[in-house]
């Protein structure tokens, strides 16, 4: 790892100030991607601004059916939230299957979506729920937030502070794990929300997470796994790599979507 | 150089290190506690698992400065006065190790599992809980047996104490 300077932020304002003072710095949340990337010398931020000790960024808050998850809430806390499980168990299940137990104790929802790894789980959940990403300066709808491979709508120095959404009527998530890394070789999040049916796919698209409108229309008419039986998933635009080619992933998208609907009930 | 202060196995400890120093290297090299191992060094194998503020973490993927101010438990902190922790005793009894390299991480992971879900562990839960720990010798069967046995024994102890 190249040399770096560590700063521990005490508040959101403090973090943003520290970031603006260090052009080549990066926000550090759980660090489960960033520290590994730095060890491989694929990233070399001059400064790290640690967000883990900002109390306002941690925790799951629920008012009625409105859910707010602080950006620095670890996956383990989302997975274990009984209040959240009562109204949106699919997101608890998603969080409980990221990486391994040790990674879930450190990794955070804000870090995951800000990084927008094309095989990460949370982008599918956040896009599938039609959530809103709250930052230090504005609110961004999930549809506008994820813009490409490791790319988001975040401006330079902008920081995710929370994710909010209305609990859906029904939701489910199914993923086919990469057996070594536990990243999604394909993961599909389905949700029946007040704004309609949403289907978000991660791990498969060559531009990152995406919505599948064909599945959404079919499920809007008939919420059942069988509604997807006759839809063929187009493999163009899907990733091919040593783990699976695009055609294989196209099949996985359908299989995972059917499982996700079945699990949503 | 930055001063890092930790409570390790119940004792206040501190040392100077670079900001880029990993927690596992700080524990091994500055504090001299070499029970925590570096296996893959890429967040996969779990040989470096310690508890930070009561939760299992991979100390090869955390900077020492990130951990400063926290309470750390390493494998050296488990055994009481001359007596193995029930999880350590169960690994010995059930032959839950061969070469022993992964064992500190396995044991710390098992203790974390029992802390969170003690008394309700099943073979399936234990195997899922070991997703972040790799053993190249045992094939895991005896590790799983040892964790289930320790869980049952510790749950029995808790009941007896109530």
Distance CA A57, CA A18 (A): 17
Task: Please give the mean pLDDT across all residues of chain A.
Answer: 97
| Sign of the torsion angle spanned by Cα atoms B30, B31, B34, B40 | negative
- Which residue of chain B comes nearest to A37, CA vs CA? B42
Q: Identify whether A36 is part of a domain.
A: yes
- Which residue of chain A comes nearest to B106, CA vs CA? A102
Residue numbers of the domain that contains B33: 2-77
- Nearest Cα of chain B lies from the Cα of A104 at a distance, in angstroms, of 9
Domain with residue A246: its CATH number is 3.30.390.50
- Nearest Cα of chain B lies from the Cα of A151 at a distance, in angstroms, of 24
Q: What's the DSSP call for residue A228?
A: G
Asked if B58's CB is within 8 angstroms of A103's CB, the reply is: yes
Distance CA A30, CA A111 (A): 7
A196-243: pLDDT as tens digits:
999 999 999 999 999 999 999 999 999 999 999 999 999 999 999 999
Burial class (CB within 10 angstroms; exposed 0-12, middle 13-18, buried 19+) of A236: exposed
- Chain B residues near any Cβ of chain A (below 8 Å): 2, 18-20, 22, 41-44, 46, 49, 52, 55-58, 61-63, 65-66, 109, 112-113, 129, 131-133
Domain with residue B129: its CATH number is 1.10.150.120
At B162 the pLDDT is 67
Burial class (CB within 10 angstroms; exposed 0-12, middle 13-18, buried 19+) of A146: buried
Touching check for A12 and chain B: CB below 8 Å? no
Q: Identify whether A126 is part of a domain.
A: no
Interacting residues of B52 by C-beta distance below 8 A, sequence separation 6+ = A105, B23, B59, B62, B67, B70, B71, B72
pLDDT of B160 over the 80 cut: no
Domain with residue B72: its CATH number is 3.10.20.30
A143-196: pLDDT as tens digits:
999 999 999 999 999 999 999 999 999 999 999 999 888 899 999 999 999 999
Burial class (CB within 10 angstroms; exposed 0-12, middle 13-18, buried 19+) of A263: middle
Instruction: Tell me what ipTM this predicted complex has.
Output: 0.96
pLDDT of B161 over the 80 cut: no
What mean pLDDT do residues A92-115 have? Answer: 97
pLDDT of B159 over the 80 cut: no
pLDDT of B8 over the 70 cut: yes
B68-103: pLDDT as tens digits:
999 999 999 999 888 999 999 999 999 999 999 999
Distance CA B14, CA A255 (A): 53
* Domains of chain A: total: 2
Last residue of a domain, one of B57, B77, B97: B77
The HSE-up count of residue B157 (CA atoms within 13 Å, CB side) is 11
> The whole model's pTM is what?
0.96
* Domains of chain B: total: 2
Task: Please give the mean pLDDT across all residues of chain B.
Answer: 96
Same domain, B143 and B93: yes
Last residue of a domain, one of B46, B77, B108: B77
Q: Identify whether A227 is part of a domain.
A: yes
Domain with residue A5: its CATH number is 3.30.43.10
Residue numbers of the domain that contains A219: 170-264
- Nearest Cα of chain B lies from the Cα of A233 at a distance, in angstroms, of 31
């Amino acid at each position: 790892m190249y040399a770096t300077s560590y700063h521990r932020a005490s508040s959101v304002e403090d973090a943003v100030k520290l970031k603006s003072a260090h052009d080549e710095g990066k926000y550090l949340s759980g660090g489960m991607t960033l520290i590994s990337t730095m060890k491989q010398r694929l990233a070399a931020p001059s400064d790290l601004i640690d967000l883990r000790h900002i109390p306002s960024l941690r925790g799951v808050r629920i008012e009625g059916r409105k859910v707010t998850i602080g950006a620095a809430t670890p996956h383990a806390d989302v997975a274990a939230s009984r209040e959240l499980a009562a109204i949106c168990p699919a997101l608890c299940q998603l969080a409980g299957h990221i990486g391994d137990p040790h990674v879930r104790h450190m990794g955070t929802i804000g870090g995951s979506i800000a990084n927008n790894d094309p095989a990460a789980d949370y982008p599918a959940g956040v896009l599938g729920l039609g959530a809103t990403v709250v930052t230090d300066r504005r609110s961004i709808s999930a549809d506008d937030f994820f813009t490409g491979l490791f790319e988001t709508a975040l401006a330079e120095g902008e920081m995710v502070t929370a994710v909010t959404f209305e609990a859906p009527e029904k939701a489910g998530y199914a993923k086919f794990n990469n057996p070594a890394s536990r990243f999604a070789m394909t993961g599909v999040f389905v949700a029946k929300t007040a704004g309609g049916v949403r289907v978000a796919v991660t791990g498969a698209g060559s531009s990152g997470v995406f919505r599948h409108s064909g599945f959404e229309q079919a499920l809007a008419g008939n919420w059942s796994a069988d509604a997807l039986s006759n839809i063929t998933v187009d493999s163009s635009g899907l990733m091919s790599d040593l783990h699976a080619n695009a055609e294989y992933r196209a099949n996985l998208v359908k299989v995972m979507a059917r499982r996700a609907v079945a699990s949503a009930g | 150089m930055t001063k890092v202060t930790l409570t390790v196995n119940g004792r206040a400890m501190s040392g100077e290190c670079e900001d880029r120093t990993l927690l596992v290297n700080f524990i091994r090299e500055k504090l001299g506690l070499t029970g925590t191992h570096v296996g893959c060094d890429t967040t996969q194998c779990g040989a470096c698992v310690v508890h930070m503020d009561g939760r299992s973490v991979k100390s090869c993927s955390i900077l020492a400065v990130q951990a400063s101010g926290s309470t750390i438990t390493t494998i050296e902190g488990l055994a009481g006065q001359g007596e193995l922790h029930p999880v350590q005793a169960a690994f010995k009894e059930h032959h839950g190790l061969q070469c022993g390299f992964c064992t500190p991480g396995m044991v710390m992971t098992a203790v974390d599992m029992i802390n969170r879900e003690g008394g309700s562990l099943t073979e399936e839960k234990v195997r899922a809980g070991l997703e972040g720990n790799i053993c190249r010798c045992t094939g895991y069967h005896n590790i799983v047996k040892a964790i289930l046995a320790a869980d049952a024994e510790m749950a029995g102890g808790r009941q007896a104490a109530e």
